[in-house]
Amino acid sequence: MLTLEYAQLQDKEDSLKRFREEFYIKPNSIYMDGNSLGLLSKRAERTLLESLNDWKEHGIDGWTNGKHPWFFLSEKLGEMIAPLVGAAANEVIVTGSTTVNLHQLVATFYKPEGTRTKILADELTFPSDIYALQSQLRIHGFDPDTHLIRVKSRDGRFIEEEDIIEAMTDEIALIILPTVLYRSGQILDMKRLTAEANRRGILIGFDGCHSIGAIPHSFSEWGVDFAYWCNYKHLNGGPGSVGGLYVNSKHFGTAPGLAGWFGSKKEKQFDMEHYLTPADSAGAYQIGTPHVLSLSPLLGALEIFAEAGIENIRAKSLNINQYLMDLINQDLHDFGFTIGNPIDDIRRGGHVSLEHKEAARICKALKENGVIPDFRAPNIIRLAPVALYTSYTEVWEVVQILKKIMTEKQYEKFKNEREVVA
């Protein structure tokens, strides 16, 4: 089973294989970093050029005319993303960035009162989220050292749901958690955690950066209060792509904590009044003018997801990542590697987390051999076979290249430290 022939057969039978031709894949290179930045698709390129042409042909009238009128672009993209997060179209808007959207949502929904003054997070979450939460606490006059509660990991890799639930005390006003832990790729049980938070009267929101486009979600069904994410990883929206946010419709009418004119009702926005009439949708939580040329590639990128289907994407992702793990166990067991992601499908996101004490050096050697991995300090090589454009044959080749690097000790000529951008 763990042979090149098996990989080739899997590629032949892959129901998603036609989408590989949609992407620009560099010759003699194997891209395994789609969980950090997805590749450019031809459709994303097309829709970006169409918006550029709208600007060229229509000037200011591009806001309401042309192929993709800019005034409604964020709402249109929200409607396209909604099925991927399990939400109604009006509960999703494409706007801001991950951290800006987190600031907006915390400013809106963090309302300390009585004994409920603390924010609950976890110690393995992405640092930018922690910076934002610390900042919001300071704005409210609280000390982050005492009011930002971070659930401890038992092993440095995973966070146990039981530990999160135990920390949901009557001092907690708001919970912010990742859908998928960025290092280990662990999926948190969002349904369970949301139910437990709701039962205690605590609002809960999720950072979906490492899950959107890789796994299905049911935010509305689960009763999640809000969520936010980037669109440049699994959704292939391009570097600096505009982010997204979800707000459960039960919260519509809650005034945005950070108000801006693009949160207005569309028909009122250009009345230029000095009081805000917020949109009666997730659009209320926009702040400023949309970044049209960073939104436009998503139009084409999301067409592919609508055709491929998130359930089909997830099925291949699980299968191809399992194949990668099986190959690692078979061919690399003598070289000191440890698989640091969950093994069970239900807990595993869209990448394999490979741990090694020489991880930074090994990543540099992989790049020299035409493989693009991702390094995360202190010792993690993240490898992400992406369902839409990674082949099983490439996965087989990556493991053989890793074996050669370790056998020949190619990594020893590099320093075991990260580059400026890891």
**Please, is 106 exposed, middle or buried when counting C-beta atoms within 10 Å of its C-beta (0-12, 13-18, 19+)?**
buried
Spatial distance between the Cα atoms of 271 and 258, rounded to a whole number of angstroms: 20
421 part of a folded domain: no
Q: Do both 76 and 155 map to the same domain?
A: yes
What is the pLDDT of the chain when averaged over all its residues?
97
41 part of a folded domain: no
Q: Do both 334 and 383 map to the same domain?
A: yes
Q: Do both 287 and 338 map to the same domain?
A: no
Q: Do both 194 and 278 map to the same domain?
A: yes
pLDDT digits 0-9 by tens, 306-345: 999 999 999 999 999 999 999 999 999 999 999 999 999 9
* Three-point CA angle 122, 125, 131, nearest 5°: 95
Enumerate long-range contacts of 408-411, CB under 8 Å, 24 or more apart: 410/365, 410/368, 410/369, 411/358, 411/361, 411/362, 411/364, 411/365
Contact 319, 292 (CB under 8 A): no
pLDDT digits 0-9 by tens, 356-397: 999 999 999 999 999 999 999 999 999 999 999 999 999 999
Q: Do both 270 and 334 map to the same domain?
A: no
Q: Do both 90 and 15 map to the same domain?
A: no
The domain boundary, picked from 254, 288, 307, lies at 307
414 part of a folded domain: no
* Three-point CA angle 95, 118, 188, nearest 5°: 60
71 part of a folded domain: yes
Spatial distance between the Cα atoms of 402 and 369, rounded to a whole number of angstroms: 9
Total domains, the chain: 2
Share of the chain above pLDDT 90, in %: 98
Sign of CA dihedral 33, 124, 356, 334: negative
pLDDT digits 0-9 by tens, 31-47: 999 999 999 999 999 99
Average pLDDT over residues 220-248: 98
343 part of a folded domain: yes
The domain boundary, picked from 307, 324, 346, lies at 307
145 part of a folded domain: yes
User: Tell me, what CATH number does 290's domain have?
Assistant: 3.40.640.10
- pLDDT of residue 1 exceeding 80: no
359 part of a folded domain: yes
DSSP secondary-structure letter at 373?
-
Question: Identity (one letter) of the amino acid at 73?
Answer: L
Q: pLDDT value at position 196?
A: 98
User: Tell me, what CATH number does 12's domain have?
Assistant: 3.90.1150.10
Q: Do both 316 and 292 map to the same domain?
A: no
Q: Do both 26 and 100 map to the same domain?
A: no
Burial readout 337-363 (b: 16 or more C-beta within 10 A, e: otherwise): bebbbbeeeebbbbbbbbbbebbbbbb
pLDDT digits 0-9 by tens, 200-215: 999 999 999 999 999 9
Q: Do both 279 and 135 map to the same domain?
A: yes
- Could you tell me the residue range of the domain that residue 190 belongs to? 46-307
36 part of a folded domain: no
0.95 cut: is pTM over it? yes
Q: Do both 298 and 314 map to the same domain?
A: no
The domain boundary, picked from 249, 273, 307, lies at 307
Q: Do both 197 and 275 map to the same domain?
A: yes
Tokens of 176: 């912010």
Q: Do both 197 and 299 map to the same domain?
A: yes
Contact 249, 91 (CB under 8 A): yes
Tokens of 417: 């430290």
Question: Identity (one letter) of the amino acid at 210?
Answer: H
